[in-house]
């Protein structure tokens, strides 16, 4: 089989779908992308909202493969570490790594998606179809049903299909109908709301620009990503229900007093808080797991459609982009003559690791909202950075492996656990030696 001559339909023109469409076209395939939304590039700027994501090594590696690394990074703001804001107004900086290469990049999701769509569309082998929604899959005729803006449904055939339609994937649901397939969906009891913290009138940032900012409050949390114009996108994470929840903030008075109580330093910096609160929706957060990720050699899933994770490790998009690299390598290098083998090997190489990422993302939720302010946690982070400086090949902090390497997620976690055991043994030996020395000194 010549993998370079296929006609591929990609369902979903979000981050993973548009990147993978470009990659496939560069490899000689003819690609049609079906996206349910209208062309987002036509109405950008209407509300001036920006939603930012942290781009790290895995995502950058996939962008390099399509030649977009430098262009994307020129749109991003590097973040060298995180600034923890405590309730008393103190701000403490924690670096992400031991040097300036180990940084995250804050990027506007819309700008990134627009760029990927632009580059995909500019390729002569890619056709984008907006307001075209996948509504069904017919495995018997190997066709998918696509509804256009008028509701007219047309069957589409292609040599194979890529499902890149996000966490609530229709293609996944349809392809697994009647199959022995697993799927689980877990909603967090917390939701999120995005708010914009504007730049000063002279365009400078009200907060340190080159950092992620975190306001950990245990029962609520704000995380902020910087924008190139000096503004910051704040994401407030809060339970949907219970005391101090979205449910207990029904009006302007309640919202103002909530911010005054928990985020007093932000209040003077957010003059538009109440208007923004009313305009911006509350989003929900979901973890999904599923298997299999493909139907025969015909449909294959990438990104959130096969593994949505909570956003607290900042790896959802990065791992979605990493899927594009892994699937591409399976099709072109590992199994160039069998698409079915390529799909199988792609799933085998990815699923255990994205399952691990789901767990890490849950754990990081507790870290971000609570543990980052504990002196013991700060000490441990410093020790990690110090050990990494001392023995950069031997000692790699877990965060460094996840964000600044492409080491598979489960391998990174296993290595971190091994390092923890060494550390514990080292501390135990040091204590025995110390006790022995003290005993000898007093005898």
- Contact track, ligand FAD, 12-51, x by CB under 6 A: xxxxxx----------------xxxx--------------
Q: Which two tokens stand for residue 78?
A: 């590097």
CB 324 → ligand FAD: shortest distance, Å? 10
Nearer to ligand FAD, 53 or 342 (CB): 53
State in Å, rounded, how far the first CA of the chain is from the last one.
Answer: 81
Nearest to 93 by CA among 372, 386, 405: 372
Tell me the three-class secondary structure of 300-359, residue by residue: EECHHHCCCCCHHHCCHHHHHHHHHHHHHHHHHHHCCCCHHHHHHHHHHHHHHHHHHHHH
Residue 232 pairs in a beta bridge with: 197, 226
CB 102 → ligand FAD: shortest distance, Å? 16
Nearer to ligand FAD, 39 or 341 (CB): 39
User: Does 193 participate in binding ligand FAD (rule CB under 6 A)?
Assistant: no
Residue whose tokens read 């029904």:
250
CB 135 → ligand FAD: shortest distance, Å? 7
Candidate ranges 195-203, 302-310, 346-354, 435-443; the one touching ligand FAD (CB under 6 A)? 302-310
Provide the 10 A C-beta neighbour count for residue 419. Answer: 19
CB 79 → ligand FAD: shortest distance, Å? 10
Candidate ranges 6-14, 242-250, 411-419, 433-441; the one touching ligand FAD (CB under 6 A)? 6-14
**Contact by Cβ (8 Å): 185, 322:** no
Nearest to 164 by CA among 307, 370, 312: 307
User: Does 126 participate in binding ligand FAD (rule CB under 6 A)?
Assistant: no
Pick one of 6, 102, 165, 174: the residue that binds ligand FAD (CB under 6 A). Answer: 165
Candidate ranges 149-157, 287-295, 310-318, 422-430; the one touching ligand FAD (CB under 6 A)? 310-318
Nearer to ligand FAD, 144 or 249 (CB): 144
User: Does 105 participate in binding ligand FAD (rule CB under 6 A)?
Assistant: no
- State the DSSP string of 204-224: --SS-SSSEEEEE-SS-EEEE
Looking at beta carbons, which residue is closest to ligand FAD?
Answer: 14
Strands (E), 119-177: 126-130, 133-138, 143-147, 153-157, 160-163
Question: Contact residues for ligand FAD (CB under 6 A)?
Answer: 11-17, 34-37, 53-54, 133-134, 164-166, 170, 192, 235, 283, 303-305, 311, 314-318, 320
């Amino acid at each position: 089989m010549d993998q370079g001559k296929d006609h591929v339909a990609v369902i979903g023109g979000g981050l993973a779908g548009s990147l993978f469409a470009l990659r496939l076209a560069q490899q000689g395939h003819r690609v049609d992308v079906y996206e349910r939304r209208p062309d987002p590039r036509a109405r950008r700027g209407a509300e001036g909202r920006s939603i930012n994501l942290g781009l790290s090594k895995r995502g950058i590696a996939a962008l390099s493969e399509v030649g977009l690394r430098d262009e994307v990074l020129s749109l991003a703001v590097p973040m060298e570490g995180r600034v923890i804001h405590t309730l008393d107004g103190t701000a403490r900086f924690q670096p992400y790594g031991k040097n300036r290469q180990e940084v995250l990049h804050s990027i506007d999701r819309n700008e990134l998606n627009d760029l990927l769509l632009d580059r995909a569309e500019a390729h002569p082998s890619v056709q984008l179809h907006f307001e075209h929604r996948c509504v069904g899959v017919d495995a018997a005729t190997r066709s998918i049903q696509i509804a256009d803006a008028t509701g007219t449904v047309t069957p589409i055939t292609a040599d194979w299909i890529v499902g890149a339609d996000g966490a609530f994937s229709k293609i996944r649901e349809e392809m697994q109908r009647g199959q022995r397939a697993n799927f689980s969906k877990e909603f967090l009891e917390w939701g999120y709301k995005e708010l914009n913290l504007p730049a000063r009138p002279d365009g400078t940032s009200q907060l340190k620009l080159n950092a992620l900012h975190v306001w950990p409050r245990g029962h609520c949390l704000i995380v902020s990503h910087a924008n190139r114009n000096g503004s910051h996108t704040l994401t407030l994470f809060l339970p949907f229900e219970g005391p101090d929840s979205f449910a207990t903030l029904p009006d302007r008075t309640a919202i103002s007093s909530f911010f005054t109580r928990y985020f007093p330093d932000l209040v003077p910096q957010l003059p538009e808080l109440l208007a923004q609160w009313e305009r911006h929706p509350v989003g929900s957060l979901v973890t999904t797991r599923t298997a299999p990720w493909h139907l025969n050699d015909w449909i294959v899933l990438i990104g959130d459609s096969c593994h949505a994770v909570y956003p607290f490790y900042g790896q959802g998009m990065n791992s979605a982009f990493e899927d594009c690299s892994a699937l591409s390598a399976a099709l072109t290098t590992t199994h160039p003559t069998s698409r079915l083998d390529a799909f199988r090997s792609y799933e085998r190489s990815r699923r255990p690791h994205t399952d691990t990422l789901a767990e890490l993302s849950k754990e990081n939720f507790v870290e971000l909202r609570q543990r980052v302010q504990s002196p013991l946690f700060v000490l441990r982070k410093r020790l990690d950075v110090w050990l990494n400086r001392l023995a950069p090949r031997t000692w790699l902090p877990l965060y460094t492996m996840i964000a600044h390497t492409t080491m598979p997620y489960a391998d990174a976690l296993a290595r971190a656990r091994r390092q923890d055991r060494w550390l514990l043994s080292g501390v135990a030996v040091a204590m025995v030696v110390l006790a022995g020395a003290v005993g000898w000194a007093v005898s």
